[in-house]
Copies of this chain bind each other. A is one copy, B any other.
Amino acid sequence: MTDNPFAAGAAYVDGRYMPVGQASIPLTDWGYRRSDAIYDVVSVWDGQFFRLDDHIARFRASMRKLHFAPSESDEEIKAIVNRCVALSGLRNAYVAMDCLRGRPAPDKPYHPAYARNYVAAFAIPFVWVMNPEVQARGGHLIIAETLRIPRSSVDPTAKNFHWADLTRGQFEALERGADFALLLDSDGNLTEGAGFNVFVATDGLLATPDSGVLEGVTRQSVLDICEELGIPCQVRKISAAETREADEIFLTTTAGGVMPASRIDGRIMNNDRPGPLSTRIKERFWAKRAEGWHATPVDYTAA
């Protein structure tokens, strides 16, 4: 029980703070109507941001790649996401930051270069892309027929909302009785899925795709953990066949951490449970988080 109007989440839109349920964007904004927006998501666990500076740096890099220049500085964006969490009082939170193109400027050419860009952000209770019960049994994956949007059209390293292919993949997964779809590129190599990177293990050797994907912060964290634990992990092309025949597969995302799979295209891996390498990395990831790895404490006095 709480009297805090921000208990369900707190948001910031273009200079103002509000309960997340009241946060909205104009129907006529190009951020929506042309999906002309970029975003990032950072997690808060046990009152601490994880790799906040890495997320802020990627957010700024995404903005630069797509010609976004909002008035807020990096330090101001850090203060905004901190204040959203502080207002909500949440100890475990999913914290999004967006930059939107804005609306066509009157009396200027009808071109996105002339719109006023602005920032939105919100903190809500932690989101599990794969909920803990599914993580315990291992996710059921398919390789979708839908292909990932190629880099020649949309740069996947500038985190964006062009998810129609990923959404189509998730409908394919649902139709085939699975939890998540993995998407290939037009050369038949593995890319990513709806909000996550993918790791594949064969004969004790890990690999994750080198291109056509978001350079995920949790993906980087797994690469760091592999180095620490002496587990070989390659960043390279991975064929569909290698994926289908893998010993283990796990997914990584800010909204869920390290998420093991137990089935791929109907084939059972590891007696239908998360594999030993996936489990070891997942446990090490959460242990390091608990130890304060790359942590920035939320300043709850900033509410």
- Nearest opposing residue in chain B for A39, CB measure: B33
Q: Does A174 contact B (CB under 8 A)?
A: yes
Q: C-beta contact mask, A162-194 vs B, less than 8 Å → 1, else 0?
A: 111111101100100000000000100000000
- Nearest opposing residue in chain B for A131, CB measure: B110
A31/B28 contact (C-beta < 8 A), A67-B171, A164-B66 known: no
Q: Does A120 contact B (CB under 8 A)?
A: yes
CB distance from A165 to the nearest CB of B (A): 4
Number of residues of chain A lying within 8 A (CB) of chain B: 54
Of the stretches A19-27, A72-80, A243-251, A269-277, the one at the interface is A19-27
Contact of A162 among B20, B98, B162, B174 (CB under 8 A): B162
Contact assessment for B163 and A36 in the assembled complex, using a CB-CB cutoff below 8 Å: yes
Contact assessment for A35 and B131 in the assembled complex, using a CB-CB cutoff below 8 Å: no
Cα A11 to Cα B29 with chains together (Å): 14
- Nearest opposing residue in chain B for A128, CB measure: B110
Contact assessment for A164 and B163 in the assembled complex, using a CB-CB cutoff below 8 Å: no
Q: Does A160 contact B (CB under 8 A)?
A: yes
Contact assessment for B161 and A153 in the assembled complex, using a CB-CB cutoff below 8 Å: no
CB distance from A127 to the nearest CB of B (A): 7
Cα A28 to Cα B121 with chains together (Å): 10
Contact assessment for A170 and B111 in the assembled complex, using a CB-CB cutoff below 8 Å: yes
A28/B124 contact (C-beta < 8 A), A35-B163, A129-B110, A167-B112 known: yes
Given contacts A21-B26, A110-B129, A112-B167, 7 further A-B contacts (CB under 8 A): A23-B28, A32-B32, A32-B35, A35-B164, A36-B167, A111-B174, A153-B153
26 A-B interface contacts by CB (under 8 A): A11-B27, A21-B26, A23-B27, A23-B28, A27-B120, A27-B122, A31-B32, A32-B32, A33-B39, A34-B163, A34-B164, A35-B161, A35-B162, A35-B163, A36-B163, A66-B164, A110-B131, A111-B174, A113-B174, A154-B162, A154-B164, A154-B168, A160-B164, A162-B162, A162-B164, A186-B186
